[in-house]
Amino acid sequence: MNEKCIVYGIEVSIAAFSYDPEDPYIIKIVKDFNEYAKENNLDIQLNNILLSSHNTTVLNVGYASTVETWLRKKQTDYDIFTMNTIYTSRFAKYSADLKKYVSKDLIDSYSKGIASKIGYYKDKLVGLPLYVDVGVLFSNRELIDKYNQTLPKTWNELIDSAEYIVEKEKEIGNNDIIGYIGHMPDGESSICSSLEFIYSFRDSIESDMPGFRSDNALRAFKMIKEIKNKLSSDSNFILNDMNTAITIISGKVVFGKFWYGEYGDLYISQLPGEKAGVSASCVGGRNLIVNNYVSEERKIASAKVIEFLLSKKLQIKYVLENGKHSGLDDVYYDEELCSKYKCEPFRNMQFIPRPSPSLMSYDEYSLKYISLFTNYLYGNETAENTLKQIDYLTSIYYIENNSTIGRTVIFVTSSILFIMFFTYIIVLSNKYKIYFCRYNKMIWSSMFVGLFIYISQNYFLIGELTEL
């Protein structure tokens, strides 16, 4: 970014979504920036536009569609948008590349962590995280301490500890203890929870996300069902967000997976893995993206807003005052913060973003994934077939040119076209003209060209798909 750029008298608008008529967090960040701008003579005024079910018909999914509609029309009323991290690829074409406007030091500090997975589309930096939501393991402190158990590092350790505690509680007449709450409702959260299981079954910390057709994914899905059947029930696993949180803090749950938050006197740790040291945490939250259709000076001004809000100092403040988990790793090594906040669980978290399907919208992908997964977890579908069907959602298959099928298609198609062309020449010859005198030559030619083009499309069904 050009450090010599100076911005005067610019109004920048940030649009956000909230379920409530007011969002104290958004109000605070706007107030904080405007005070900072005044103290540092930036001459930038930040305004907020809060869209909620109270002032519009916009809902959470509808917010993204509403913003996309504005950007398709190249509207310039809004400069910065807070956007769900699942929509990075969707908004890439409408967003400014932040690498051109935000300082390299800030980008580098965030790219060490989750921003490298949720902020980029190809080589373009679409957004940076204002805050992130992370999945963690909550453990019942009272029961863990009572029976001298340790926080589990593997799923098998979790099963052993939970079964032991549940059995001991039954011996003293307490039959209400739930071994594990999996947070797998008939909704978006089940995607995160199931992806966390798969990611926690990779071979090592350095390994990539296992494919849906891999043995790792199969073991993960089978473990989900084993834990549900041994430690819980359908009714406990399928609880929605609110009821999951209520149940975890009720004191009747040994272990529970949920989004991080302050829920009483519970142990908080990273999720277990198939092997000790391997973990997973699905990422949610909000990115800050900049409207690509506003003027250059407003983009520069927007970048100054983002640099302020994502600074380490402000991120620490919002962690402490608002409980907003930062996407900046360095925050969780700050001595002052860690003297007041449980930093250890958030160091070196092993993040996994949700997929960015290229052949359909994320919302469509989500609905299909949830349907397949819930049919497996709460129905009679097999893990093998479920994973195969999920893999189909994002897989692109093609026929290789040199394969037996490819050669056969080329040969048959070419033969048919040759026969058609040869037949057409015969029809036009004087020798056979008398047999086709009833047919209009123009109509005959049009039909022939149409059929020729239609059959020729077989050539385009072979070979790897490429972008235009």
Kindly report the backbone phi and psi dihedral angles of residue 81, in degrees, each rounded to the nearest multiple of 5, phi listed first.
-125, 140
190: Cβ contacts below 8 Å, ≥ 6 apart:
183, 184, 370, 373, 374, 377
Which neighbouring-strand residues pair with 40?
none
263 and 252 fall within a common domain: yes
Is 353 domain-assigned? no
215-231 vs 188-199: helix crossing angle, rounded to 10: 120
Same domain for 413 and 272, yes or no, is no
Total Cβ atoms within 10 A of residue 293: 18
- Where residue 65 falls among pLDDT bands split at 50, 70, 90? confident
- pLDDT tens, residue by residue, 73-97: 999 999 999 999 999 999 999 999 9
Other CB atoms within a 10 A radius of the CB of residue 84 amount to: 21
Q: 127 and 141: one domain?
A: no
Whether residue 387 contacts residue 219, with contact meaning beta carbons closer than 8 Å, is answered with no
Asked if residue 321 is part of any domain, the answer here is yes
Identify the CATH number of the domain in which residue 140 sits. 3.40.190.10
Is 317 within 8 Å of 228 (Cβ atoms)?
no
Helices (H), 289-334: 296-309, 312-322
- pLDDT tens, residue by residue, 17-27: 887 778 899 99
* Same structural domain, 273 and 408: no
pLDDT at 466 over 50: yes
Position 4 in a domain: no
The rounded distance, in Å, linking the Cα atoms of 132 and 326 is 6
Q: Are 79 and 301 in contact (CB under 8 A)?
A: yes
User: What radius of gyration, in Å, describes the C-alpha atoms of the chain?
Assistant: 29
Both 266 and 379 in one domain: the answer is yes
> Across the chain, what does the average pLDDT equal?
89
Looking at the structure, do residues 98 and 52 belong to the same domain, yes or no?
A: yes
CB atoms within 10 A of CB 34: 16
| Domain, as residue range, for 379 | 134-283+363-394
pLDDT-wise least confident of 116-130, 169-183, 407-421? 407-421
Quote the pLDDT of residue 413: 85
Q: Is residue 3 part of a domain?
A: no
- Domains: count for the chain: 3
For the cut 60, the answer to whether the pLDDT of residue 468 exceeds it is no
Residues 383 and 306 in one domain: no
pTM summary value? 0.82
The answer as to whether 422 is a domain residue is yes
Are both 147 and 262 inside the same structural domain?
yes
| 104 found inside a domain | yes
Residue 213 within any structural domain of the chain: yes
Domain match, 308 and 408 both: no
Query: Does the pLDDT value for residue 6 go beyond 60?
Result: no
By DSSP bridging, strand 10-18 and strand 80-84 are parallel
pLDDT band at 55 (very low <50, low <70, confident <90, very high): low
Predicted local distance difference test score (pLDDT) of residue 455: 83
One domain, residues 38 and 157: no
Same domain, 173 and 279: yes
Cβ 346 vs Cβ 325: under 8 Å:
yes
Q: How far apart are CA 301 and CA 213, in angstroms?
A: 47
CA pair distance 328, 106, nearest whole angstrom: 10
The answer to whether residues 42 and 86 belong to one domain is: yes
pLDDT surpasses 90 at 449: no
Across 178-182, 209-213, 302-306, 416-420, least confident range: 416-420
For range 116-137, the mean pLDDT? 93
H or E element that contains 415 = helix 404-428
Q: What percent of the chain has pLDDT over 70?
A: 91
pLDDT of amino acid 53: 64
Quickly state the pLDDT bin for 406 (edges 50, 70, 90).
confident
Length of the chain: 468
User: CA-CA distance, 8 to 468, in Å (whole number)?
Assistant: 41
Q: Which helix (H) or strand (E) holds 351?
A: strand 351-352
CA distances (Å), origin 283, targets 136, 139, 400: 11, 20, 37
